[in-house]
Amino acid sequence: MIPTLILNALAVSSLYIMMASGLALIFGLRRVMNFGHGAIYMVGAYLGYTIASGMNFWSALILVPLIMSVFGVLLELLVLRPLEKRQQIEVALITFGIGIVIAQIVIRIYGGTPLSVSAPPLLASSVKIFGADYPVYRLFITVIGLCSVVALAVWLNATRTGMFVRAVSHAPDVSSMMGINANRLSLLISTLSTAFAGLAGVLVGPYLSIDPGMDVAMIITCMIVVVIGGTGSIWGAIFAALIFGFVQTFGTVYLHEISVLIPYLMLIAILVWRPQGLNFGGSAE
């Protein structure tokens, strides 16, 4: 029971990590919380459904993040860059409005009924882990999640571009004086962020279901994760996503229906203790 739960928690956390780290990255560079992130994840999920049923799951897994990265380019060029001078909360509200519009368009196209995607044949089986059958697909999500975190960590810490990203997040003025082009970095980060959201969307299809409320549910989760982690702190967000996944998974089993309240109570408890969030490794603000 417990090992299965731990694996489940890791699978859910992986999705949250992909979403929350994308949010934290954009926030680090632009100081803007992208409230439309949930809608982008929703588009990823529905596009994944279309491509998976038209072609196959593997092409969806590759194509959707590519298509969603175009959303990232649009987000940067049409929203973040022109509104650079506006207050961060105003831009956040605009992304919120864009999120509602995108979600409504998706609902218009696909209708309001939940859809489901079947896992590809290669991953549809289950394996024995600690004496219990466990679906391979969930392990696959965890592996992809882990790989993306490791890739992100390597990129941020070992490459020149990664160093620039950290520099701009840490001190935007100084880094621009040093000749770092924040606009170009931001384009890259937005693309990466929406591509990750798209990937999470495709991955969620065969695991949970695809439904019209998924964007709001995800953005609320992401907000809690980002606030607990300390706004703009990427490692804080990743760690908080991990905690969130575990609390949610174990809560559902041991506390039953009360579990929907746990994330919020956790948020309040952590804020009473530390108003700035967990905040590891310094935040953007």
Partner 1 sequence: MSSAALSLRTASRARLPILGGVALVVFLAGFLLPGYLEGGYLQSMLNNGFITGILALCVAFVMHQCGLVLFGIATYYGLAAYACAILVNSFGFSAMAAAALALLITLAAAFLVGAIVIRVKPLAFMMICLSLAELMRHLVALPSLRKTTGGSDGLLFMPEGRVFGIEAMDLLDPARIWPLIWSATWVIGAAFLIVVSSHFGVRLRAIKENEERMRFSGFNTYWPRVFAFAGVGLAAGVAGVIQALASGFASPEMFSIITSTNALLAAITGGVSSVVGPVMGGVLYTWAISEFGAMGYSQLFTGIAVILVILFIPRGLLHPLRLLLRKGGRA
Footprint of partner 1 (CB under 8 A): 33, 86, 88-90, 92-94, 96-101, 103-105, 216, 220, 223-224, 226-227, 231, 257-258, 260-261, 264, 267-268, 271-272, 275-277, 285
Cα distances (Å, whole numbers) of residue 277 to 97, 259, 268:
26, 22, 10
The token duo for 109 is: 């196209």
Nearest residue (CB) to partner 1, 65 versus 277: 277
Q: Answer for the pair 6, 216: CB distance below 8 angstroms, yes or no.
A: no
Best CA proximity match to 137, nearest among 125, 129, 128: 125
* Nearest-approach distance from CB 124 to partner 1, in angstroms: 32
Q: Which DSSP symbol is given to 280?
A: T
* Nearest-approach distance from CB 12 to partner 1, in angstroms: 18
Best CA proximity match to 154, nearest among 143, 164, 142, 163: 163
Rg, Å, the chain Cα set: 18
* Nearest-approach distance from CB 31 to partner 1, in angstroms: 9
* Nearest-approach distance from CB 92 to partner 1, in angstroms: 7
Nearest residue (CB) to partner 1, 163 versus 216: 216
Nearest residue (CB) to partner 1, 154 versus 268: 268
The token duo for 133 is: 């059958």
Cα distances (Å, whole numbers) of residue 182 to 68, 161, 269:
22, 11, 36
Nearest residue (CB) to partner 1, 90 versus 133: 90
- Positive or negative, the Cα torsion across 27, 155, 75, 144? negative
Q: Which DSSP symbol is given to 131?
A: T
Q: Which DSSP symbol is given to 77?
A: I
* Nearest-approach distance from CB 6 to partner 1, in angstroms: 25
Nearest residue (CB) to partner 1, 203 versus 267: 267
* Nearest-approach distance from CB 91 to partner 1, in angstroms: 8
Residue type, 274: R
Nearest residue (CB) to partner 1, 188 versus 228: 228
Secondary structure of residue 161 in the 3-state scheme: helix
* Nearest-approach distance from CB 97 to partner 1, in angstroms: 3
Nearest residue (CB) to partner 1, 112 versus 121: 112
- Positive or negative, the Cα torsion across 24, 60, 111, 98? positive
